[in-house]
Every structure is written in C-alpha cells, then in structure tokens.
Structure 1
Amino acid sequence: MKISIEDKTIEKVHRVEHNRRLKLTPNSMGILRLQVAKHIGIERMDSFLFQFGWEMGVADGKELLKSDKSPEQLVIDGPIEHIASGHISGIDHRCDIEYYEDGSFKTLIGRGEWFDSYEVEQHTNYFGKSTVPVCYTLAGYSSGLMSTIFKKPLIAKEITCAAAGDDTCQWIVKPQEDWGDDVKQNAVDLLGRKPIVKELEYTYDSLLEQTKFITSLSNFQKKLTNEVVNGRTLKDVVKVAGKLIGMPLTIENLSMETIACSGISDEKIEKIREDMMEEVPEFLVKDQSEYIISSGEKVYVFEEYDRIVVPVIVQKQLLGYCTMIEKKRKEEGYDEEYLYLEHLASAAALILLSEKAVFESLGRLKGSYLDQVLSNEFSPAELVKRGKYIGVDFTQSYRVVAVNYKKQFKSLEDEFNFQEKLLDLSYQYYRRKGKQALTGFKDDKFIMLIFESYYIDNILDDYIKYIHEYLGCTSLQVGISSHMENIKDAIKGFDEACIALRLTVRKNRLSYDELGIVGLLINSNNMESIQLLAEKELKGLYVSKDEKKHELFETLYYFLGNGGNLKNTALDLSLSMSGLRHRVQRIEDILQKDLRDPEVSNSLLLIMKALIVLKDIKIS
C-alpha cells in the first residue's frame, strides 16, 4: 500500500512575513553559530548544529505522537511545528509512504523546499558565501521529527542551498540505509560523529601516548649519545639499544654480514640473511655509487616476520644497514620503529665515521711506511723500529703481492677515487680478517705485503671476491713473491712479485715460485746477454716491429705454453685449426727450427718469458 501526501497550503496558511516567533532571535542563533565555530572549529559546526536540530525534532515529534492522529496527518502537522519555531517561514513538502500488507510501516521518501531559512541568513552574515549547503539545524530537525513519528531512522539531506548560490533550499528525506555510501556531508555522517568531549578525551589520550613515546625516544637518543661519546664500540651501542626497546636489532655491512646484533641468535641471523638473499636480492648493494639516498627506509615482508631497514650513511656513502625484526602484526605502519632505528643509525654513523677516520689515517700511515720499506731509504733497524709504532712485526715471514687492475676511467679524478676506495677496502678487509698487512701504490701497481701468508691462495681468493663485490667488475692480475724472512728482503720480494705479474698472460695469478729457472735467469742481471740470445734464436720475430710479425711472436708464445697442443692454442688465440697450422709452419720456416723438439721449445719459451719481463713485450 502506498500513500502520497502533497500539501502546498501550509506555506500560505502559516507563513509569517514580518514577525517570526523565535525563542531566540535569528541574530542570537547567528551568534551561537559563530561561537560554536570559534570553540570547536567550523569543520565540526555542522555536526553540532545537526544534532541540535535533531533533538528539537525528536521533542516535537514526541508531542505530536500524544495525539490520536494518523502518521500521514502528523507528517503534515510536523512542518507546521517547524514553521512555528521560526527557523523557516514556509515549506513545500511532498511525501510518499509505503506500508506492508499487515499495515506496518515499510519505507518513506520525501522531498521539499524550505523558505527563508534563518541559517542561510545568519551563515552568510558571519561567514560569507558557502561552497556547501549550510542548513544543518533544519536537516537535523526534519530527521529527528520523521524518525520519531515512524520509529525508524529517517535522514534528511539538503541538496541545494541559497547560501551556496542556489535559488532555493531543497531537501530529501529517506531511510538511513537507503543513503548507502553517500555519507559525505550528509546527516548519517554528522549524526554518527563522536561528541566533542569524547574526541577531546581521545585526543588527550593520544597526546599522552605521544608524550610518553617522545620521552622514551629522547631517553633512547641520550643513552646512545652517551655510549658514542664514551668511545663505546658498535656492538656495545647495539646491545644498549636492544635492551631499551626490547626488540631484535642488527647492524650489517653491504654484504649483509652482521657486524653487531642484540636479542637474536646466530642461527636466526643466518636464516634472515638467507631469506633476504632469496626473496630480495636487490637489497645487496655492490657499488656504493648505486645507492639512492631518497629511497630511504624500507619494510621487507616475510611469512613469519617483517624486517624494518634504515640505511647507515656516512659522508653520503652507504656503509651498512640498521634493521629491526618485528613479529607479524595486523596493524600497518612502523613510524615509531623507524624513529628508533634512525637514531640508532645516526649513532652507528658517528662510530663508523670515527673508525673511518682512524682507518684512513692509519691506512695512509701504513702506505707511507710500505713505501719506505721498498725504497731502501732507511736502515733495516730504523724500519723495524718505525714498524712497531703502527703494529707491524717483521719477525714473521711474508710475501709481497703486486696487483694490476684493468678498468676504464673517465678522468684522473675517477681513477684517484678508485684507488682511494681500493686502499680503504683492502685495509678494512685485512683488519676484519685479523691479518697483518701493508698496502699501498708503487710504480702504478697496487702492492700488498701480507704476513703469515702460507695459505696465500685462499687469502687472495677471498680478497679478490671481496673487491669484486664492492668495486664492480674489475679484472685483477696478481703477481706473488716467494716467502721473505726479514725486512731486508722486501725489495727482493717486490722485484719477484713484479716479475711474476709481468708473466700473468695465460692466467690472472702467478707466483714467482712457479717461474723456476726463468726467475733465476732474470735475476742474474744478464739483460744484455738475454737480448743477444733472443736476437739469435728468434731472429726476425724479435727485432721486427711489423704487426704481422708480432702476431707470429704471440702465436709462438701460446703454442709453446700449451706444449704444442694445437687445439688449446687455437682456443687461446680464437683461430681456426687451419689458420693456426699455417702460422706454425711459417714460424718454423723463419726460425729454421722444429718447434716439436722439446729442447728447442723449452729454450725458446724460456727466452720469450725473459723478454716479456725485461723488454716490456706485451702478450694480450
């Protein structure tokens, strides 16, 4: 059953042109509106006035229900009461009501227009023109009245408003559930807001929590600062931080190796590292220049935990990470955790900056000392004495290592920065491994004097891997001296390392011990004799500057180095078998020798290796 009500006589019968009857004057209501906006904010004024109107509508609705009139008649009488309040001078109201078959109320939709709204007048007087409807009290009154009459939440919403520049103030009323998601600036939203007192209580509680957190954070920062000022290590600082916040913490380098930790076992650390390497491989930054500071902190989400990461940056260089391991939780956001980690990262950066300054100072001092050892400027006794000041003990045996690096540089500054990084990383590497070493540059070669070097291959394998990881794809050629027993042998060791380095043609690493008689021949200082012998035995291949002849010289070297194996030589030179056979035949014709004769091949190979060292003949 559906009943339609339309009554336009209300406006004509009850409209009062000049003498509205209000319990308060319109101006008083305007002052109230102004004070509400002043004390609780204009953004909350709508809620206050809507609820004010709602309570008035509920009160009038209860009075109307005391009569024996039907709901349809009460819908007509309600607007009469509203006009009598003085809030409006008239109303145009149309309403459709539906009932179930048993006569119970089903739903309602009403629409209409308010005339001469006092709220339009007062709002524009005090606040000027609005961008949204402002008749909050009227909407609240209609909502409260209709909801009371039909005993069901019926919400009125103003659609157009004269205060917002519209011609009239039009409205719609319908059940609360029918509004759906359209709650912005409507009665459902306004009625559902918390009272200001409740919001103030919540705000106070939030401020109290924030005050406690800020106090805790300040105390955290103060204690970490004290640890740094008192010269504590990174491990000490992390332990203090872990106790203060009660969470597992780690500080890691760029290789994700844990430098310091608190509240977490070694097994758990290894498991977390494996998770990161498997799920987030880009976490590992191999080149510090690739790091973008703006990327900032991050959260890495795993099945059983979340990992919060904040970078440790010193002088615009990424040196490591501070991380916190947090159990899975429903709520999102780690703002407080970030703040704790940022303070820890700052403390770690100060410690690392101090250590970096010490490293660089001591590293340069050791580099200068290495140069003194290899220059023969001071007596062995004086050098030993100087070494004691920087912790260098020459009572141990050692080896000298000479390194060449193949890398293209855009400028001299670029090369200088690379050398600085290489020195710094090398010093840090040997210090972390607990090995005594001197590092520096001499004659455009990177030199390392490594003590206790009986497992030199293992040491260098790990070292080269470390350098590749941090400095990118850099090809290193390494020459290694034999064992030296005292400081007087350092220059000899340097010469041996350089000789071995010159012969790193077919492989990137060569020890002087592997040279055998070649090393003895070169150290005999018979340079002139070697050159005369080369001219005699190699003939035109040695003295000629012809590029084709150099190709034959290079082919001969690889052929002899491979023991006459054509297949391996062809692979080394990227030649076809037929092309290689042609070259070998031509070489034999020039030299008038049988290259498959062991005595001939060994003699020629020995001479060629000596030439490579002494005459700077390059074999690619």
Structure 2
Amino acid sequence: MHMGTDLSRTNLNDVFELPKEEALHAFYERMVTIPITAISSLKQELRSTIGDDRSKGIFVRYGWHNGVSDGEKALSCEWKSELDLINAGPKLHQLHGYLDRVEINDIHYDDEGDLDAIDVSWFNSFEADEFLKGGIPSDQPVCHTMCGYASGYLSTVLKRPILVKETKCSAMGEDKCEVICMPMEKWGQELENEYRYYQSNSMIQELDEITAKFKKERDNLNKAYHVHRKLIEELLAKQGLKKIVDLLYETTGLPVFIENEYNQIMVQSDHVTIDFDLEKINTETTKFISGPDGTGILRTPIWLEQEIKGYCSFLYLDGHTPNDLEHMVIDQASLTASIILLNENIKVNTEQNIRRGFLSDILGRRLEKEELYKIAYYLNFNPDDSYWMLTMERDINNSELNYEIEVNEDLIRYINLFFKERHVNAIVSQKAGKIIILVEYSSFKEVCMKQLKFIKQLLKHCSRRFGNYKFFVGVSSVVEKIDQLPILYDETLATLKAKNPNKQVQFFEDLGIESVLFQLPDETLINRFVHKQVGQLLECDKNSELTETLYAYIENGLNINHTAKALTMSISGLRYRLDKISDILNIDLNDTQSVFSVYMALNILKTKGKIKI
C-alpha cells in the first residue's frame, strides 16, 4: 500500500490492518500535522475574542468537515454492510490521534429496523486532557471537535443527518467521555439548542444586523429624548396633565388617557373610546393588554411616594402593538405625570389643610368675626352666602384607632374628589372620628339637584371604594352666615343621635320638637328621659298595642271620638285601654304637660326606629 493506491478496490477493514503511517497515506495524499498545544492555544484565543459559544461552534464545524472528509474516503472503499462503515469511524478517529480508544457500547434500532441511536464511549480525549491542564474541572462537556467529527462522518456514510451530543466528559471529572449519536429527526426539542452549532454564521452579517439594530435604537433614543425635552418644557412652564396628554397624542399619534388611583379618567386626548374594565387591568409595571376587536392598551403606573397614584395609557386599534419607542415614551410620560401630580398634591393638600384648620377654628369658636370673614374671602368662601353641613358616621374599631384615622383620611380625599368633579365648593374634614362636610349653598344650587339625591350619589361614590362600611349621614338645616356654622355642626350631631338603623340619611328638620333633646351632649340623658316617660309601658306592652293607642290618642288631640275612628275601635274599648295606660304610666292622660313629655319620648323612639307606629 502506498501513495496513489486506488481505494475503490481496497476493503475498508484491510486499511486498518496496515501500520499507522501507511494507513494515513492510503487515505490521504497529503497531511499537515498540528500540535495539540497549538489547537489549545487557538481555542483560548477564540474564547477570549469571540466568546465560548462562538468558539464552540467553530470547533464543532471544524470537526464536522474532518468527519465529512473521512466519511467520503470510507465510502470510496469496498465495504460489506452499514455496520462496517459505522465501525470504521472510531478507527479513523483514533488514527488521527484525537483519543486513545473508542467503544461502541450499543446500536439501537426501532421496530421498523431504522437506526435509533448509537451509544459510544471515548477514552483519553485530547480536548478533555488539555482542558484539565488548567487545573479546574469544567461544568460542561468540552469535546467539541470530536463531536463535530463523529457527526460529520456518520452523516456522510449513513447519508442522513446524524447529530452527536456529549452527555459525559472527562473534563467534568468523569472516567471517560460518553456520547449519543442520533438521527436528527429523533432529537425532538433538544435539537434546536445543539444544531445551531453546526450552522455557519457570517460575523459580518451579524455585525451589520447589530449595527442596524443600534441605529434603530439610536433613532428611538433621539426621538424619546425629543419627547422628553418637550415634556420637561411643559413641566417647567407649569402646564397640567391635559397639556401632557395633547403633546403625547401629537407626538405618537396614539390616543392617550391618564387615570387617578381610583381608575377615574382625569384627562384624555381626542378619539378615546375605552372598552376595558380599567380596575381589572391595573399593573405595577409597564404592560400591554390585548382587548376586544383588535384593541389594546399599553399601560404604565404613575408612582408617587412609593404608591401608585394613577395610570398613563396608550390606546391601540386594528391589531397594532407598541414598539420600543412607545415603551420609552410612555415611561417618560409617567415620570412627568408623577411630578405634576406631586406638585398638585402639595398644592391641594396645603389648601385643604388650611381649609380644614379654618373649619376647625370656626367650630371651636376661636375666630373673631372680622378675622373669620377675612380668611373666608381668602379661601374663596363668601361669608354672607348660605351654608349647610353633612356629618358622616361609620363603625369604628377603637382598638385600631390609627388605622381608622388613616381610613378617614383616605375617605376625605375620595369625597373631595366627588365635590371637585361637580364643582361644588366644600370643606371636608374629620372630627371625633366622624367626617364633616361643609357645603356652600350657592355652588351646590348649580348642580340642580335635591339634597337627598345628591347625598345618595355621594354615598354610592363612597361605596365603590369603601364597600365594607355602612355610612349614616346627618344633614343640617341651612344658615345664612358663615359664622353660624357651629349651629349646623350641633344639628348634624343631634341628627346622628336620632339615627334609624334602616335609614342612612336623616335630616335635622325632620326631627320635630324632640330635636332639642337630641342636642344634649350626653346621650345617656336622652335614654334616661325616654325610660322615665315610657319605660314601664314598653315592658308591659310586648305587642305595642297600647303604645300605638297612646300615640294615636295624642296625635288626635286627646279626642276620644277622633281616636276611636282613627283606630276603628269602640269608644268603650278605647277607654279601657287608656285607663290601663294611665295606670301603667301613673299619669293623668288629661294633663297636657305629662302627655307632652310622653309624646316626645315616643317620637324619639320612633325616630330611632325602636318602635314602629
């Protein structure tokens, strides 16, 4: 056997019976030897220059081309079976000096006789040995050239793509390397990760793609900076949220809207039609939410003092989705909106605190009339206007008083929003655990609504956010001067003392003469008065028959005939009941003074809902 031997007439197995030098010359007309240290140095340089992943791909493809070359040589020899070609691969592998020994552990075939997998062991791999000279074991297989070689060889001789993957490696501390060789179609999901190393990628093309990507990002940054600069200009010019929304719409062409923390839209651009339940798509990060009929919302929270105080959203139509620039712009818009809201909050809170302090001073009678009028004008309240007041009460857990005060403050902000939306001039504060609302009557009249309907709307507004609480509202009369506000406050407290559990809104003017008693500061005095007047009657009269008779008798002016007619009963029966009532209460029912006191007590019970007449 010598150079120029015709391999087509040589049995493949006979070649490997020759001495190594002759076998090499039989396969290759000319060979160039490369020291292992040179290959290792090349690996190190490539890893430091282009990274581990790219250098792995280079050596996998280098091994692949060697394997393909040897596979073509093997096919040019005479061979008896496919098994001859498979067994020749490890011998050629050893012939090159890549390793000391190869063992084919098993060859698997499927039920139809098609190749399923080949399990192979490699001993003393040159790539693993060179890696271990660094003194630190690898955390993953390193025999990339050998895997590429085996894949290239088997793919060529078997005339189908065979992918080889190393499952164990000596460089990882194993006593040998183990690989599995499988037809490409049998790899499934694992194929995608390994097969990419066999693909030749142009670095020039990738650099062009990266350059184009950088150019696009640079353009986006320039545009985002342009929008950011405009936003800052509007901010410095002390423009509000509406100007910001208009600027965003003009810049992006997208409908824009901004909500408060309660998902109520504060400002919006033109062409905004929202088919989303905004409360259900709240998010703590910038997020795109798809909606019905090809609509979508790019939504980002507005943070203020580490709390979400609203949302800024772009609206998308016809299946469009946001690009990178729009993500950048909406983040800038959110930051600008948070600064505007911070400024507005400081302004509003300062104004509200001044107003609340003013109301507290009036109720505490700490202001002289001249000073009161001066401050009222400053706070945009006409001292000579008419005013009315609401005091709102809810169940409070005194063991968690700090939390309850915090809830009240949150409730005050929410109620202020209600009055602001309706342009009603009001002061909302809290005192003794209750919410006090002073309403300027002239601005309320502009709403063109009756008091009861307006208050029910307020309660509905509160229930949206504070649905766990039941509120009771005491409503005062109307006074003509602002210095008469203490009277209104006393009236609302009296009304709440008379509250009926089944009636949320109670008007002071509905109380009647017994309202005088409800203004007593100590409610136990009221209860003692009621018990003294009718306590014994209530104990004896379990079905309320006598109580109803007494009430009807007083209502009919102590006239027996009129009372009998009203109750549709006989005069003798009525007299019997009245005598019995007189005995129980130990009073003369013809004594006007005694009867008047009883009548007041019954009205108190009736107002509180404790008796039904």
Range of TM-score over shorter length: 0.7 to 0.9
| 1:605–1:505 Cα change, 3 Å | farther
Q: Does 1:227 align with 2:217?
A: no
SS where residue 388 of structure 1 aligns?
A: helix
Which of 532, 536, 555 lines up with 1:542 in the alignment? 532
Q: Does 1:456 align with 2:451?
A: yes
| 1:562–1:256 Cα change, 3 Å | farther
One-letter amino acid of the structure 2 residue matched with residue 10 of structure 1: F
CA contact under 8 A between 1:402 and 1:445: conserved in structure 2?
yes
TM-score relative to the length of structure 1: 0.71
How many matched pairs? Answer: 556
Q: Does 1:591 align with 2:585?
A: yes
Q: Does 1:393 align with 2:382?
A: yes
How many angstroms apart in 1 are the aligned matches of 2:61 and 2:402?
73
How many angstroms apart in 2 are the aligned matches of 1:340 and 1:234?
15
CA contact under 8 A between 2:530 and 2:601: conserved in structure 1?
no
CA apart distance, 1:44: 3.0
TM-superposition CA deviations, 1:127-179 (whole Å, max 9, x none): 74334443322232233234344543234444554434444445554533233
CA apart distance, 1:15: 8.3
One-letter amino acid of the structure 2 residue matched with residue 462 of structure 1: Q
One-letter amino acid of the structure 1 residue matched with residue 420 of structure 2: R
Which of 242, 260, 263 lines up with 1:256 in the alignment? 263
Matches within 5 A, 1:159-198: 160-169=168-177, 171=179, 173-183=181-191, 186=194, 188-192=195-199, 194-198=201-205
Q: Does 1:138 align with 2:134?
A: no
The equivalent residue for 1:41 is 51
How many angstroms apart in 2 are the aligned matches of 1:24 and 1:470?
78
Identity %, equivalent residues = 21
CA apart distance, 1:119: 2.4
SS where residue 399 of structure 2 aligns?
A: coil
How many angstroms apart in 2 are the aligned matches of 1:134 and 1:442?
76
How many angstroms apart in 2 are the aligned matches of 1:168 and 1:610?
98
How many angstroms apart in 2 are the aligned matches of 1:489 and 1:353?
36
CA contact under 8 A between 1:51 and 1:191: conserved in structure 2?
yes
The equivalent residue for 1:477 is 472
Matches within 5 A, 1:420-459: 420-441=409-430, 446-450=435-439, 451-452=441-442, 453=444, 455-459=450-454
TM-superposition CA deviations, 1:95-140 (whole Å, max 9, x none): 9899xxxxxx986976655565432333333574334443322232
CA apart distance, 1:341: 3.9
The equivalent residue for 2:243 is 236
The equivalent residue for 1:10 is 16
Between stretches 6-15 and 356-365, larger displacement belongs to 6-15
CA apart distance, 1:439: 3.5
CA contact under 8 A between 1:542 and 1:553: conserved in structure 2?
no
CA apart distance, 1:237: 1.7
CA apart distance, 1:51: 0.3
How many angstroms apart in 1 are the aligned matches of 2:21 and 2:546?
115
What is the root-mean-square deviation in Å for CA atoms of aligned residues? Answer: 5.2
The equivalent residue for 2:162 is 154
Which of 586, 602, 605 lines up with 2:599 in the alignment? 605
| 1:42–1:591 Cα change, 3 Å | same
Matches within 5 A, 1:408-423: 408-423=397-412
How many angstroms apart in 2 are the aligned matches of 1:449 and 1:435?
10
TM-superposition CA deviations, 1:530-553 (whole Å, max 9, x none): x9xx99xx9994279xx9888789
One-letter amino acid of the structure 2 residue matched with residue 320 of structure 1: G
One-letter amino acid of the structure 2 residue matched with residue 513 of structure 1: E
Gaps of 5+ in 2: 1-10, 23-30, 554-576
Matches within 5 A, 1:19-418: 23-62=33-72, 85-88=96-99, 117-126=125-134, 128-158=136-166, 160-169=168-177, 171=179, 173-183=181-191, 186=194, 188-192=195-199, 194-265=201-272, 268-269=273-274, 271-272=275-276, 275-276=277-278, 280=280, 296=285, 300-304=289-293, 305-327=295-317, 340-374=329-363, 378=367, 380=369, 382-418=371-407
SS where residue 471 of structure 2 aligns?
A: strand
| 1:198–1:592 Cα change, 3 Å | same
How many angstroms apart in 2 are the aligned matches of 1:122 and 1:25?
12
The equivalent residue for 1:570 is none
TM-superposition CA deviations, 1:347-387 (whole Å, max 9, x none): 22222222222222211222232344445555655533331
SS where residue 485 of structure 1 aligns?
A: coil
How many angstroms apart in 2 are the aligned matches of 1:412 and 1:34?
69
CA contact under 8 A between 1:552 and 1:587: conserved in structure 2?
no
Q: Does 1:509 align with 2:505?
A: yes
How many angstroms apart in 2 are the aligned matches of 1:431 and 1:6?
95
Gaps of 5+ in 1: 99-104, 285-292, 566-582
How many angstroms apart in 2 are the aligned matches of 1:11 and 1:212?
67
TM-superposition CA deviations, 1:279-300 (whole Å, max 9, x none): x4xx68xxxxxxxx9x555555
CA apart distance, 1:406: 3.0
How many angstroms apart in 2 are the aligned matches of 1:359 and 1:347?
18
CA apart distance, 1:392: 0.9
SS where residue 406 of structure 1 aligns?
A: coil
